[in-house]
């Protein structure tokens, strides 16, 4: 078994070797892409290539790609740049969406974490022009949303649609034009690219005004000298992710192994389509932070929910929105595979999880007998 099993790809995925090589080459070459001399033109060419690579990953025209500093900026820019006053967001959105529009109306989800389309239709009825934000796939549970249906309802009501596809790109087929969304957010480091770079895809003709003022970079849609090496790395990661992430067999083996150890364990969202790399599971009676620390000591990296809370372990707002009881929510961890996950990593996780579960259950049984 490997000495170290990294199973937290939804937090960040280790950088791919081809990405690192491309970035080093770009850093060595240098050049400001806004300069008209040969070094500047070469840097501009590198960005143009990367733009085509990212566009190809999500089925979008290259001209509609705006490079950003990451998924959070892309989400914030989409929500702030449309000029729409009334915003609807799903209850399971990432914090970079929920906190960007704290006054937004919340679209409920069912017990599987899927957006309630009937509720959305009622919320849209008779409303003024609106922006609807529904993610492609949830970062904690991997549950995939019916985005095309959301678009159909929203557009019929005169609303625009933003989709946070940060967790989905490279793990599931994402087709910007096929979905019909108006805005799509992406992030490089979720698919083996560098941190600090992402993209917002804006449909041609969709309203968008950037709050960044300065030069005319990104076709006047995002001022500031481009992060050439980061963008090149994003492009290389997008190219390497073209075939998607084939980890469904690993996930099946993982979940079967954990359920064999603890038959009462709950896999959240298991009844609906999910990303093939993501498992959110509650170990009966063992708090999430205890599991994360014990597994870390055993050489396995997982997380308790989202990884954007400054290292804090708090109750999952996603599971709360799904109606999961607090006691069960507090025992949920997220296991997420990625481009370099191998079967030995799964074996390591199962063995460590089993050891912890046996220790805890035996301890509880001993205490009950002593009482």
Domain boundary among 240, 267, 297: 240
Mark whether 301 is an active-site residue: no
Is the pLDDT assigned to residue 370 strictly greater than 90?
no
Kindly indicate the confidence band of residue 85, based on its pLDDT and cuts at 50, 70 and 90. Answer: confident
Q: Are residues 93 and 44 in the same domain?
A: yes
What is the domain-level CATH number for residue 353?
3.90.1150.10
Mean pLDDT value of segment 204-217? 90
pTM (two decimals): 0.94
Q: Are residues 23 and 9 in the same domain?
A: no
Is the pLDDT assigned to residue 96 strictly greater than 90?
yes
The backbone region for 157, taken as left when phi is positive above 0, alpha when psi lies in -120 to 50, beta otherwise, is: alpha
Mean pLDDT value of segment 302-314? 64
Q: Are residues 229 and 107 in the same domain?
A: yes
The residue assigned the tokens 């995925």 is 13
Is the pLDDT assigned to residue 310 strictly greater than 50?
no
Q: pLDDT tens, 100-151?
A: 999 999 999 999 999 999 999 999 997 788 999 999 999 999 999 999 999 9
Q: Are residues 111 and 30 in the same domain?
A: yes
Q: Are residues 227 and 91 in the same domain?
A: yes
Q: Are residues 81 and 123 in the same domain?
A: yes
Helix, strand, coil content of the chain in percent (nearest 5): 40, 15, 45
Cβ neighbours for 316, distance < 8 A, ≥ 6 positions apart = 140, 304, 305, 306, 324, 329, 332
Tell me the average pLDDT of the chain: 92
Mean pLDDT value of segment 230-236? 98
Q: Are residues 179 and 316 in the same domain?
A: no
Give φ, ψ of 305 to 5 degrees: 80, -150
Domain boundary among 190, 220, 240: 240
Domain boundary among 209, 240, 271: 240
Q: How does DSSP classify residue 127? A: P
**Which of 185-200 are b and which e, b meaning 16 or more Cβ less than 10 Å from the residue's Cβ?**
bbbbbbbbbbebbbbb
What is the domain-level CATH number for residue 160?
3.40.640.10
CA distance 6 to 166: 20
Q: Are residues 42 and 163 in the same domain?
A: yes
Q: pLDDT tens, 23-62?
A: 999 999 999 999 999 999 999 999 999 999 999 999 999 9
Per the residue annotation, which of 163, 280, 308, 337 is the catalytic one? 308
Q: Are residues 56 and 187 in the same domain?
A: yes
Give φ, ψ of 326 to 5 degrees: -55, -40
Q: How many domains does the chain have?
A: 2
Print the domain residue range for 168: 17-240
Q: Are residues 213 and 163 in the same domain?
A: yes
Q: pLDDT tens, 174-202?
A: 999 999 999 999 999 999 999 999 999 99
- pLDDT, position 315: 72
Q: Are residues 128 and 96 in the same domain?
A: yes
The backbone region for 115, taken as left when phi is positive above 0, alpha when psi lies in -120 to 50, beta otherwise, is: beta
- Length of the chain measured in residues: 371
Q: Are residues 268 and 129 in the same domain?
A: no
Lowest mean pLDDT among 57-61, 160-164, 176-180, 359-363: 359-363
């Amino acid at each position: 078994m490997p000495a170290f099993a990294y199973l937290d790809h939804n937090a960040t995925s280790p950088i791919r070797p081809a990405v690192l090589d491309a970035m080093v080459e770009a850093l060595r070459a240098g050049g400001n892409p806004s300069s008209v001399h040969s070094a500047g033109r070469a840097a501009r060419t590198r960005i143009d290539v990367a733009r085509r690579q990212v566009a190809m990953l999500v089925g979008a025209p290259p001209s509609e790609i705006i490079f950003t500093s990451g998924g959070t900026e892309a989400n914030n820019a989409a929500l702030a740049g449309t000029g729409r006053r009334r915003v609807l967001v799903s209850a399971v959105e990432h914090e970079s969406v929920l906190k960007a529009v704290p006054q937004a109306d919340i679209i409920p989800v069912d017990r599987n974490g899927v957006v309630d389309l009937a509720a959305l239709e009622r919320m849209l009825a008779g409303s003024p022009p609106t922006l609807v934000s529904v993610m492609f796939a949830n970062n904690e549970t991997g549950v995939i949303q019916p985005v095309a249906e959301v678009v159909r309802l929203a557009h019929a009501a005169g609303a625009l649609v933003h989709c946070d596809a940060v967790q989905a790109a490279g793990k599931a087929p994402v087709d910007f034009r096929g979905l019909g969304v108006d805005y799509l957010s992406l992030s490089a480091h979720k698919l083996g690219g560098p941190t600090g770079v992402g993209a917002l895809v804006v449909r041609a003709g969709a309203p968008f005004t950037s709050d960044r003022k300065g030069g005319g970079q990104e076709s006047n849609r995002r001022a500031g000298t481009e992060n050439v090496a980061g963008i090149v790395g994003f492009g290389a990661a997008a190219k390497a992710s073209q075939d998607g992430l084939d980890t469904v067999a690993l996930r099946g083996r993982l979940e079967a192994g954990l359920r064999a150890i603890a038959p009462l364990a709950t896999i959240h969202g298991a009844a609906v389509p999910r990303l093939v790399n993501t498992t959110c599971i509650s170990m009966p009676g063992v708090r999430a932070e205890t599991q994360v620390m014990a597994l870390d000591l055993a050489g396995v990296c997982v997380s308790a929910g989202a990884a954007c809370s400054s290292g804090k372990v708090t109750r999952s707002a996603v599971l709360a929105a799904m109606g999961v009881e607090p006691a069960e929510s507090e025992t949920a961890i997220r296991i997420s595979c990625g481009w370099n996950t191998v079967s030995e990593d799964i074996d390591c996780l199962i063995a460590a999880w089993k050891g912890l579960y046996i220790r805890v259950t035996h301890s509880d049984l001993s205490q009950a007998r002593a009482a």
